[in-house]
Chain A
Amino acid sequence: MNWRGNLLRFCNVAGLPILEPFVRLAAGEDKREQLVGIAKFILLPIAAVCVFLGLWAAAASSVVTDSAKLPSPQATWSAGKQLIAMHYEQREADKAAKQEKLVEAVQLLAEANAYTAAASKATGEKKSKLEDKSLALKKRAVAAANFVPSSAPTFIDQIWTSVKTVFFGFFLATIVAVPIGVLCGMSPWFNAAMTPFIQIFKPVSPLAWLPLAFIVIMWYYAGYSSGETFFDKAFLISASTVCLCSLWPTLVNTTLGVASVDKDFINVADVLRLSWWQRLTKIILPASLPLMFAGMRISLGVGWMVLIAADMLAQNPGLGKFVWDEFQNGSDLTYARIAFSVLVIGLIGLLLDRIMIFFRNLVSFGNPSPV
């Protein structure tokens, strides 16, 4: 049965082995074995989560200090619902404000046109006064038409900002790390030259880089105010911090992947008299891809972790800032909202990991590993 094979391969490549028993069950394979699989991979985790929730609820009722209290699962859930509802309310309000401004812009422009018309009939000083007024009205009309709501970013906006930042930082890291990694793997001389940098900078917490990244970006953007540049400064600072910590796993794994290409492949290349470029693209890169992607997966995970901390430290927009702002708020809802964002951060991290597993398995030619 072909659909069965396809589905199983999909489960495998997508890194979703927990769906496998269902596919096999649907295909009519041994029921008992599949039910055991379901119990093990689905029912047991659900039970474990229930136990965890129970313990959490119990802890929430006892962990109470003078100034704060651990939020219960219910409080966390309702805080989350509220945060999401707030996002949609804000969106509606912003939309209404934008609409209102647009109507105002049209009105102002109509007025400006009326003044222009009047000016064309007038003469002398009166004419220039009317023209000035018309110009002023037009300027206001344009400002009103280009109105951007100035409401604070909502929880969902912050998630979106963080995801964009982590991908951009990761993307930068990848385009730097892969070529260097390939060169390191191919040339022992280049590797020797790079080794001190890799050895020294790899263990540095990217947060320590933050102030230095800050200086470089400020220098680059000196003289521009916010909104004048293509990238936001805060965005670039966060992204470069992510980039600096995402570099190393990809770099090291790429080097390792390239350096350990099967000798037989190389011999084949020698026999075929492949050029340097052909050797690189036909043999070395394809053979080292699984390891490269394994490195990129770790990179993305580390990048996501660090991004939250960097946002907290530098107050750049994103989930980290959301958590920090809530921490500073000090109301009853604070800790429930933080607990909810912790869960969301975890879930997004999981999702990012799955995406990279999917990519890695795609290039692993029949040897996908499920985890």
Chain B
Amino acid sequence: MPITSPGFCLDPATAPFVSPNSDHRGTSRDGIASTTHATVSAWFACLFVAVFALLTAGCSDSGVSLEDLEKAAAKIDVSEIEIDTETDDATQMLDLEKSDLTFGFIKLTDCAPLVVAKEKGYFDDEGLNVTLESQSNWKILLDNVINGQLDGAHMLAGQPIGATIGVGTKTSIVTAYSLDYNGNGITVSNDIWAQMQENDPALKSPTPKHPISADSLKPIVEKYLQDAGEPFPMGMVFPVSTHNYEIRYWLAASGIHPGMYTESDIKGFTDAQVKLSTVPPPQMPQNLEADIVKGYCVGEPWNQKAVVTGIGVPVTTNYDIWKNNPEKVFGVTKGWAEKNPQTHLAVIKALIRAGKWLDATDDSGKLVNRMEAVEMLSRKDYVGAEKEVIANSMTGTFVFQKTDVREMPDFNVFFKHEASYPHYSDAIWFLTQMRRWGQITEPKPASWYAETAKEIYQPAIYREAAEMLISEGKLDPNEIPAPDYDGYREVSTDFIDGNKYDAKDPIGYINSFEIGNKDDEALAKQ
């Protein structure tokens, strides 16, 4: 076979990968066939052995066989063991389908129930061996739950809903446990805060009156739109995040248009006066410092970080926008939940205990376990921020400015006010906001809202887990909603705009807003 000159792409002068020192033409002629052949095979063999050694080492584990166990067990004196023929053992273990589980989380303080359930041994008590793996952003977290890398995860409440109805990725995801209420804030840069104070002299106080609405921001946004010719840039964390709906709610309550989603505009910039872009939570302060966004809505500790480092001023918290609004949930895929019902139940049992522990108070109403939780969360494999920063919000205060430190005992609620129960009305609120801003492109009848909520939120599992805990003496019956509770929280007007939310009339609620989609009233009856 003739050896030809190399192709044009392989010319030595242009081939980028040729090491200048390897003088291939200097290869000595004598003995080339005999010595090298042996050497080559030997070294290739060595290389392969090395690779396989690397791959197999570390996988090996000191396996304990059943025989070893039997032998050891035979030595144990069993005469003391009481043989109990009754199966109604109080702490009976569930028949788990799977005991080694991996859950994902994002580095935010509201992953606390998962961390507490693991660190306090609640998962262990249920026979679960749980690994918690941090994820870099909400999209990757969701993808990993869908593709089975993760068994379940700390999710934005909007994520199971968005995924199930097909906003973004489409897969059925269910939740039987709400991780917390509240916990977010809206922060603006120092410069914008100064301008807001110009517009509203009442804000020029060391302790301005709360809640602060977006009224004083409105002229700034309008001027920016006129001068720069583009919408005022602000940040939120994910298109179906609570943060997105909260900041939109806050802006729209003062008549600022935050933009609509349409079938072709999945970024939600149509008609926008404020351009809300997606920024991962930990990058928010840096984006604000770099003037890429002029304000943002994010969970803790990233608002407190802005205060501590002096780059911005939190103007409001989501507690002021809607008192006790749902925030994160524990989500698993529907397929997983169907395949592992007992395991799911065991997980929810452990989480309920964790939530209860987090919100335990002494007689004077002081949260007693939060400092211990702060210590756990500050470890590098969990949230990893300094204890002081995490403690700021976790122990019931919130720092708006260095002069304006407020008691906010309900800034982070994990269990109180039935916060861990998956209320249908919470799911419906997210659906109404998705419709209001156009993420749900078609009008839907009222019945669709109720049915969709029932598909995603699974209070039956929560209740079953809670009843087991009650029978084990770990929970009090009055700590969960009464058995005849229908899953709809009371009609509320605890919103910054005083609007009334009745989950049984989603169409009426959507139509009650000045800004946003409007639906046909006839749909309310369907």
Contact = CB atoms under 8 A, between A and B. Distances in A.
Interface of A: 65-67, 102, 105-107, 109-115, 117-118, 126, 129-130, 132-133, 136, 139-143, 145-148, 150-152, 160, 163-164, 167-168, 171, 184-188, 191-192, 195, 198-199, 218, 224-227, 233-234, 248-249, 252-253, 255-266, 276, 279, 281-291, 294-295, 297-298, 312, 314-315, 324-334, 337, 359-360, 362-367, 369-371
* Of B24, B58, B87, most A-chain CB atoms within 10 Å: B24
A199 B10 CA distance: 10
A120 B315 CA distance: 72
B425 to A, nearest CB: 33
21 contacts: A107-B73, A110-B73, A113-B74, A114-B83, A118-B83, A141-B69, A195-B8, A226-B102, A227-B100, A248-B17, A253-B15, A256-B12, A279-B1, A286-B32, A286-B33, A290-B24, A298-B17, A312-B136, A315-B136, A324-B136, A328-B384
Main secondary structure of the interface of B (DSSP, over half): loop
Interface stretch (B123-131, B449-457, B491-499): B123-131
Contact of B78 (A111, A198, A286): A111
B137 to A, nearest CB: 9
A325 B134 contact: yes
B87 A132 contact: yes
B289 A66 contact: yes
A256 B36 contact: no
Contacts of A234: 149
Contact of A160 (B23, B29, B58, B66): B58
Contact of B27 (A109, A290, A295, A359): A290
B51 A168 contact: yes
B378 A259 contact: no
Given A152-B381, A186-B1, A367 B54 contact: no
Interface in B1-16: 1-10, 12, 15-16
Contact of A114 (B6, B50, B81, B99): B81
B454 to A, nearest CB: 27
B6 A260 contact: yes
A324 B69 CA distance: 42
B43 interface: yes
Interface in B335-360: none
Contacts, number: 268
B95 interface: yes
Contacts of B9: 195, 198-199, 252
A234 B66 CA distance: 31
A120 B140 CA distance: 53
Contacts of B3: 185-186, 258-259, 261, 263, 266, 284
Contacts of A312: 136
A148 B129 contact: yes
Contact of A257 (B24, B83, B87, B311): B24
B18 A291 contact: yes
B85 interface: yes
B367 interface: no
B385 interface: yes
Nearest to A274: B33
B282 interface: yes
Interface string B135-163: 11000100010011111000000000000
B81 to A, nearest CB: 5
A289 B36 contact: yes
B93 A136 contact: yes
Nearest to A366: B28
Contact of B378 (A145, A298, A331, A366): A331
Sorted nearest first, the 8 A-B pairs with minimum C-beta distance are A329-B384, A286-B36, A369-B21, A152-B381, A109-B73, A110-B76, A259-B6, A249-B17
B6 A126 contact: no
B188 to A, nearest CB: 16
B7 A286 contact: no
Contacts of B118: 150
Contacts of B7: 184, 188, 191-192, 195, 255, 259
B371 interface: no
B43 A329 contact: no
A143 B99 contact: yes
B115 to A, nearest CB: 11
Given A105-B69, A109-B69, A164-B55, A314 B140 contact: yes
Contacts of A126: 85
A143 B127 contact: yes
Nearest to B381: A152
B403 interface: no
Nearest to B8: A195
B502 interface: no
A218 B124 CA distance: 31
A284 B76 CA distance: 68
A334 B384 contact: yes
B165 to A, nearest CB: 23
A362 B17 contact: no
A54 to B, nearest CB: 29
B410 to A, nearest CB: 25
B22 A290 contact: yes
Contact of B51 (A146, A167, A362): A167
A318 to B, nearest CB: 13
Contacts of B136: 312, 315, 324, 328
Nearest to B28: A365
Contacts of A261: 3
B23 A369 contact: yes
Contacts of B32: 265, 283, 286-287, 365
A15 to B, nearest CB: 11
Contact of B58 (A105, A164, A370): A164
Nearest to A232: B149
Given A114-B78, A255-B6, A367-B26, A276 B15 contact: no
